[in-house]
Amino acid sequence: MNKKWWKEAVVYQIYPRSFMDTDHDGIGDLKGIISKLDYLKDLGIDVIWLCPIYDSPLIDGGYDIRDYTKILKDFGTMADFDLLLSEAHKRSIHIIMDLVVNHTSDEHEWFKQSRIGNNKYKDYYHWRDEPNNWGSWFSGSAWEKDDLRNQYYLHIFAKKQPDLNWDKKEVREDVYKMMTFYLDKGVDGFRMDVISLISKDTHYPDGIVYNGLYGDLSPYCSDGKMVHTYLKEMYDKVLSHYDIMTVGEAPGLPVYKALDYVKEDRHELNMVFTFDHVNIDYDRFGKWTDRRFSLRDLKHVLKSWHDGMANGGWNSLYWDNHDQPRVVSRFGNDQEYREKSAKMLALCLHMMQGTPYIYQGEELGMTNVSFDDINDYKDIETLNAYKEYVLETHQMTHEEMMKGVHAKGRDNARTPMQWDNSKYGGFSDVQPWINVNPNYKYINAKDQIHDPNSVYSFYKELICLRKNYPIIVYGDMVYLDLDDTSLFAYSRHLDDQELVVVCNFNEQKISYPKEWVTDMNILISNDEVILGELSPYQGVAFIKAA
């Protein structure tokens, strides 16, 4: 297997709005990130993935970009960004940027020019005289009438996020120019927002209506027929000139197609983010149905991605991000076993084959939040869904919807980072843009950094093990006992070395065959080890050196 720095790395994702405020406005900023670089260095991470920091009207947390080469005022200036980059590099931390080029904000200059029919820009977006039946992923129709142009434009996401027309050569060239601008500054790569959606079927056929009023656009927008042509072009014109890492977000991409994006000899991307394992607890109302996951499903999905990538691809490993609920609440137990299950989940993920991603606060075992009032939520996906399901179509009661919001709403991930137990969790000295999770009093970085038994210290240890044991990075991986409903187990192999991981996803004690770990040493565990047994939410990694 080819060795690469990004395979050996651990990535830490920052949602800047909620990370650290230094200018007293209740909003995180770039100087705040700089002030916490030593914290990240101590944790041991190698790469920061920075969620969008560009100028934006912020209807979707900055995933609606008004100007790609300007920094959002709330966050600081381009000089602050340059300083962040050099301070990170000084500490050997790479920075990858969020590249949001499936769509722009409707306030972007390109869209403004497109609306008025300026010849150069008139085809920069998807315009039609009549809409088809496609439903937006953020509720309602995916088409919006523009009165100025007297046509409809496509928006897979919010109305203020019109989709760019990648079939237009000039669009692609403008995007490549912008990417080059950041790469020449020294950024170390990109996380590419919904990159699997950039090529659309421009016959715009109606989609199947599964539920409600609108048709499913996915078959006509996801993994479209030109996507590989464009990614190869991007590679040739931009990416191939730099030693960087790339990870494409790929909603709707089945594993059997994913290898085509990441296979090394295809020269497109290094990794993709699958959604398959975080969609396993969806139901009739998608994520809003409050349904607990099944461990069997989780294992089967993760195994399929492992197997799918094993032939020349590489996996990205994540539980959490800014769109997902907190993993300790979702796949663990955020009450009695919060610390223990947070550690087990970390161990389970970090010992798999692939590059692990940590989302801010995950390393503290931060949990979901339950605001009582829907008005305390800021996320457009949540608010639109509430409006559609509860207020407009009455398909869900307020109580049902709030259960869904508490379990899976995106704001679970977006409450401020919990640095200490002072008011506002040490994130800011004024009321933050979104309320702090009240549990900051006992879940915070300050209490954990020096506690050898904390979730933080456990993450630190896992990262350190990755640096010292090549088998964790490069070993192959075999799933054990796939159908057990409590046990998550696998083994890894590299040359004559073997690593066995056994994790209990249950509140009861369980057992596993002792023979799996005969003559092996304990590498790490979140509890005292009894061979053949696992206490509630215990996870253990065993190693046998040749």
d(CA 115, CA 122): 7
Q: Report the residue number, 106 or 193, with the smaller CB distance to ligand TEU.
A: 193
Judged by CB under 6 A, the residue of 6, 81, 157, 542 near ligand TEU is 157
- Give the closest residue to 446 by CA, choosing from 364, 546, 324: 364
Please report how close the Cβ of residue 156 comes to ligand TEU at its closest, in angstroms: 8
Query: Residue 461 CB: number of other CB atoms within 10 A?
Result: 18
- Residue 370's Cβ-count burial label (10 Å; 0-12, 13-18, 19+) is middle
Q: Report the residue number, 249 or 498, with the smaller CB distance to ligand TEU.
A: 249
Judged by CB under 6 A, the residue of 12, 15, 137, 488 near ligand TEU is 137
Q: Report the residue number, 21 or 163, with the smaller CB distance to ligand TEU.
A: 163
Interface map 436-475 toward ligand TEU (x if CB under 6 A): ----------------------------------------
Contact between 237 and 214 (Cβ < 8 Å): no
Q: Report the residue number, 249 or 339, with the smaller CB distance to ligand TEU.
A: 249
Q: Report the residue number, 412 or 535, with the smaller CB distance to ligand TEU.
A: 412
Query: Residue 69 CB: number of other CB atoms within 10 A?
Result: 12
Q: Report the residue number, 277 or 322, with the smaller CB distance to ligand TEU.
A: 322
Catalytic positions are 193, 249
Q: Report the residue number, 404 or 536, with the smaller CB distance to ligand TEU.
A: 404
Structure tokens at 188: 């170390």
Q: Which amino acid, one-letter code, is at 408?
A: K
Stretch 158-177 residues interacting with ligand TEU (CB under 6 A): none
**Residue 129 CB contacts under 8 Å (≥ 6 apart), including other chains:** 151, 152
**Residue 8 CB contacts under 8 Å (≥ 6 apart), including other chains:** 46, 466, 467, 473
Please report how close the Cβ of residue 192 comes to ligand TEU at its closest, in angstroms: 10
Query: Residue 413 CB: number of other CB atoms within 10 A?
Result: 25
Judged by CB under 6 A, the residue of 194, 239, 250, 500 near ligand TEU is 194
Q: Return the half-sphere exposure (C-beta side, CA atoms, 13 A cut-off) of residue 109.
A: 8
Please report how close the Cβ of residue 367 comes to ligand TEU at its closest, in angstroms: 18
Please report how close the Cβ of residue 189 comes to ligand TEU at its closest, in angstroms: 17
The answer to whether 100 contacts ligand TEU (rule: CB under 6 A) is: yes
d(CA 345, CA 458): 11
**Angle at Cα 463 formed by Cα 462 and Cα 469, nearest 5°?**
80
Please report how close the Cβ of residue 137 comes to ligand TEU at its closest, in angstroms: 5
Please report how close the Cβ of residue 144 comes to ligand TEU at its closest, in angstroms: 16
Please report how close the Cβ of residue 99 comes to ligand TEU at its closest, in angstroms: 11
Contact between 437 and 361 (Cβ < 8 Å): no
Interface map 247-276 toward ligand TEU (x if CB under 6 A): --x-x-------------------------
- Residue 386's Cβ-count burial label (10 Å; 0-12, 13-18, 19+) is buried
- Residue 121's Cβ-count burial label (10 Å; 0-12, 13-18, 19+) is buried
Q: How far is CA 177 from CA 68, 121, 183, 239, 473, in A?
A: 11, 16, 10, 12, 34
Judged by CB under 6 A, the residue of 323, 339, 363, 461 near ligand TEU is 323
Please report how close the Cβ of residue 530 comes to ligand TEU at its closest, in angstroms: 40
Q: Report the residue number, 100 or 348, with the smaller CB distance to ligand TEU.
A: 100
Structure tokens at 334: 């955020």
Judged by CB under 6 A, the residue of 21, 29, 46, 60 near ligand TEU is 60
Q: Report the residue number, 320 or 381, with the smaller CB distance to ligand TEU.
A: 381
H runs (alpha helix) in 249-372: 255-262, 295-309, 327-330, 338-350
Structure tokens at 70: 């300007």
- Give the closest residue to 382 by CA, choosing from 61, 162, 103: 61
Number of residues that bind ligand TEU (CB under 6 A): 14
d(CA 321, CA 12): 10
Q: Report the residue number, 61 or 539, with the smaller CB distance to ligand TEU.
A: 61
CB crowding 466-496: b at 16 or more within 10 Å, else e? beebebbbbbebebbeeebebbbbbbbebee
Please report how close the Cβ of residue 322 comes to ligand TEU at its closest, in angstroms: 6
**Helical (H) or strand (E) element with 250:** none
Q: How far is CA 22 from CA 31, 82, 360, 427, 541, in A?
A: 6, 17, 17, 8, 40
User: Interface with ligand TEU by CB under 6 A: which residues?
Assistant: 60, 63, 100, 137, 157, 193-194, 249, 251, 287, 322-323, 381, 410
